[in-house]
Amino acid sequence: MVRYVDPGTVEWVESGGGPLIAVPETVLPFWAGADGDETASDYDRACEIEGYVGLLPVGDSAALVLGDEPASTAYLPEHGTFVRWCAADSEAELLAGVPDALATAVWDDEVRWNVPGTVVLFDPAWPGSETERTEHVRVVLKPGAYAVRAAQVQPGPETWLGLVQLRRLPTG
């Protein structure tokens, strides 16, 4: 993981050039990454996702693919949002723009993601069993269904960011 300011402030994950993926911890061993004998690896499947977000089956669950472009990504639990750094002069500038970006975002259609609990955000080229060897961030989520929506926002003249917001749906 990459840290741009003081340790513990915000942890960023970067990919080697493709999308990022959030896989539930319970099914990490089932994610093969770019490995495998199949005609299309798990990584290939992740790269085929069009748009900002999409879901892929993994074991008895699903992973959330953060697509469109390789951008440093952090999870801000206070906003329930993955923030993707598209353009900004500094981390402070980018993070300062998040509240306005959330308030003015024009959101794409939502997808429904059923989550068994904590997920791990990492480069999907890696096998899930090897995430400890690469940049990753654990995102603690309560089990349940989430509405996931995405947007690209320009909160300042030279600041662009992607937002992927998770909203827990009521049970029942």
Q: Is 66 exposed, middle or buried (0-12, 13-18, 19+ CB in 10 A)?
A: buried
Phi, psi (deg, nearest 5) at residue 137: -135, 130
Within-domain flag for 114: yes
The structural domain count of the chain equals 1
* Predicted structure pTM score: 0.91
Residue by residue, pLDDT tens for the chain (172 residues) are 444 544 457 899 998 888 999 999 999 999 999 976 666 899 999 999 999 999 999 999 999 999 878 889 999 999 999 999 999 999 999 999 999 999 999 999 999 999 999 999 999 999 999 988 888 999 999 999 999 999 999 988 888 999 999 999 998 6
Within-domain flag for 10: no
Size of the chain, expressed as the number of residues it contains: 172
Within-domain flag for 75: yes
Within-domain flag for 1: no
**Domain region containing 75:** 20-168
